[in-house]
Structure 1
């Protein structure tokens, strides 16, 4: 029992260390890429408008029609009135230090262009009308946002935009049936940032402490000291968790969206690494699919290879999630491997179920014992939670189905195969819970919570192999955490690259 406890503590520590390492590497790669972009004179904020998917809500706001084009989005005015094109704002945009809005425009009739911004969800919507003329032939248009007259909807003066996190729109006006083709839109600085080609491991303008409250005061004070700096070098503290690193990054970006947030002890050069070729992911995916087919064809009722089976089903999901291939855009090879792993497991379970289990509970105890982690969830919500956020019933029902899939894969499939080995039950429980935790990489707090909960559910499944009661308990705990706990020690329920958003 003592060895089991030591193993649990070490695995909890290892998950936190893994989360911090992956996050530090992600921030390093991101800072390296931004440094290379700035040194090459490229904009940090650029919108490539080619089709509806490149706009907010994937549509135009107003009386106009849009059509995709490889050279730029084609917009046709219906009646000559103004219409809005929403530029997606995925993070804070610095319009104070990058005040030159550059647009690639081409129209078959002259028109005018207006701009709309809303700094955040609660602030006033501000408009600058007729900030430039849309030429009747191909031309680049550069607008200095500092020189514009900004007004609210009621006509009151507005301050020129600084940091915008919510809404940024173009508002063209063209004659009826005129066609506008708009390509790239980007923001440029009035003067390039004076950045060195190499940033040493000890170089920084601002060094942040690990305490968020102290860091907040420090960043506020430094914002006045470095008001003219568009790209301050901000160094993160050593030895902090992944959640703290990302909270400090977000704090800095709210003040200086263009700041270079540098992990502790890392040096940087302006030569960015070339991205991996797309065929490499497809090659790995094809090899994995071939391996699954080969294993499936060799499976019989008489021959069991539990370790090979467990590795086969785990490799695909781990490659997608721990490989950070699930972010703002899904990796198609990664999703293919993930789905293939589930299909492989389903056909394998249909052909040969090594350990018998039931879907439904047979007694009240089967339904009540899996709910024990709910007490831990309630305690965490009391200590570090907030008011419950409303969740849609459709979302809750979908998550129940997803929890059932996860527990079937972990308990019925993975643990069922591990029970064919000579491993003792405590080791089987540890391996199952560890794999379940790793499938939530790099979200350290979530990895630890999932690992601890799965220890209990795996033990209960050994005692009473009923799947639906455990899946229901899993869904209840997860939905309560999502509704009332996320935002502090538990940053979010995001996994893979979505954790960094």
Structure 2
């Protein structure tokens, strides 16, 4: 009589194990698909521009995202519209940092055109060949741009001490300094680095097998670009051809329309919630997840938070603030049993970290301030995923196992396309969400998250864990 329940339990656990494995493989497939798509589109765009004699290095300044930190350094007031950047206020010099999606090959794109009003404002270009290299600079005291572009190879380059320097071969950082001594008003319309007439050459493309991990593919691309700034890496079969066209960027109009619909849905959900508690919980969980998943999976989380990204995140935060939060008893549990799950995650991280150190004893531990900041961020993540989302998925009718698996999968997807980090967050998310559903101890899982992640970030080799970045930031 007792053998049937045992078989039933064994079959249930076996089925759950298959579901966990399938979800884990699916998250890794998503990461691989996104990186492959990014590399393919990057190569297609570079190939198309090179064949057409155009350049990927041009800025129209119609949005703040074109600028490093989204600002004009040294300007007390400025604004951006369809005609460029408009700076006013005083006569002090200003600087703008140009966002580079890839290293700038100055041997090929050596013709600089700057359109400003007034066009005779004194200008200076400041370059770092790599981010940790010393900067070099040159004055751009040339005739107005109507006469022609500036030949960067003909400029008198100086190092930081004012001594003559070699012409830079590449740039990982570009800043432009403009003097407003003649007038307080300055309009910056566009900047363009282009090749000399007839000097265009197609970029070198390297194919990697489909079994290559996303980390290895990106590390190879970075290594090649240290020698050849325009080098491209694609997966086998994705190499661009003569018929390749530039990929079409997704329109922002649809994003704003869907965001407006989402905001309307959130308001209606708070003012006129469904009578069914399960429906209400499910819709609330969906509303909490829609914004972050759209931002991260869509590759919109870059160096600067654009207007749409900021609004999408703000909507999620605002909606979360209107919901019922976990009771105070669920923030910390005095029961030792409630700390078993969090302790397991820390133990797994310790074992993995020790193994990493045995292979290469080169850990990079954070400062106390950095650890404190990350601990706060870990608590925010666990509060949203466990305290709000997992609780509502359970209220919507999912079993504890299904809820834990769903939360782990969602947690991994919020770290796409960082495949190694997705693997770690899936395992951690499964442990933490299971512990939350059983013991309701946010303090335990928040602290466990902070400690486990710190150990992995400090000890994991770059070949395995490229960085802790997600979305577009991971691909830069």
TM-score (norm 2): 0.80
Could you say if the C-alpha distance between residues 461 and 123 of structure 1 is closer, same or farther in structure 2, counting changes exceeding 3 Å? closer
1:370 aligns with 2:342: yes
CA separation in 2, counterparts of 1:325 and 1:71?
A: 22
Q: How far, CA to CA, are the matches of 2:141 and 2:18 in structure 1?
A: 68
1:98 Cα shift? 1.6
Distance 1:270 1:400, change over 3 A: same
Q: Name the CA shift for 1:344/1:161 in 2 (closer, same or farther; >3 Å).
A: closer
Q: How many aligned positions are there?
A: 453
Hey, what's the Cα distance between the residues in 2 that align with 1:44 and 1:246? Answer: 20
How far is the alpha carbon of 1:163 from its aligned partner?
Answer: 1.6
1:23 match: 35
Change (3 A) 1:359 1:124: closer
Q: How does 1:393-408 map to 2 (within 5 A)?
A: 393=369, 396-408=371-383
Give the Cα–Cα distance (whole angstroms) in 1 for the partners of residues 133 and 295 of structure 2.
39
Correspondence 1:125-140 to 2 at 5 A: 125-129=135-139, 132-135=141-144, 139-140=146-147
How big is the alpha-carbon RMSD for the aligned residues of Structure 1 and Structure 2?
Answer: 3.7
Who is 2:191 aligned against?
185
Structure 2 residues without counterparts, runs of 5 or longer: 1-12
| CA distances 1:200-245 after superposition (whole Å, capped 9, x unpaired) | xxxxxxxxxxxxxxxxxxxxxxxxxxxxx56223323322122122
Q: What are the equivalent positions in structure 2 for 1:79-478 lying under 5 Å apart?
A: 85-88=95-98, 90=100, 91-107=102-118, 113-129=123-139, 132-135=141-144, 139-153=146-160, 157-166=164-173, 168-170=174-176, 181-192=187-198, 231-266=203-238, 268=240, 269-299=243-273, 303-305=277-279, 306-349=281-324, 358-367=330-339, 369-384=341-356, 386-391=362-367, 393=369, 396-420=371-395, 423-478=398-453
Q: Which has the higher contact order (CA 8 A, sep 6+)?
A: 2
Q: Secondary structure at the match of 1:139?
A: coil
The match for 2:7 is none
> What CA distance in whole angstroms lies between the structure 1 residues aligned with 2:191 and 2:147?
10
1:345-385 CA-partner distances (Å, limit 9, x unpaired): 554436xx8x9961112134434641322222233334446
Please give the alpha-carbon distance, in whole angstroms, between the structure 1 residues aligned to 2:320 and 2:126.
52
2:112 is paired with a residue of what secondary structure?
A: strand
**Counterpart mapping for 1:17-56 below 5 A:** 17-48=29-60
Pairwise CA distance, 1:280: 0.9
TM-score when normalising by structure 1: 0.77
How far 1:281 sits from its partner (Å)? Answer: 0.9
Distance in 1, Cα, partners of 2:179 & 2:305: 36
Change (3 A) 1:459 1:92: same
Aligned to 2:192, the other structure's residue is in SS state strand
The change in CA–CA distance for 1:423 and 1:399 in structure 2 (over 3 A counts) is: same
For residue 315 of structure 1, report the CA deviation from its aligned partner.
2.7
- Tell me the equivalent position of 1:223: none
Alignment correspondent of 1:219: none
The answer (yes or no) to whether the contact 2:59–2:190 under 8 Å persists in 1 is: yes
Using the alignment, how far apart are the partners of 1:169 and 1:489 within structure 2? 33
d(CA) in 1 for partners of 2:78 and 2:259?
34
SS in 2 for 1:313: helix
Asked if 2 retains the 8 angstrom alpha-carbon contact of 1:327 and 1:497, the reply is: yes
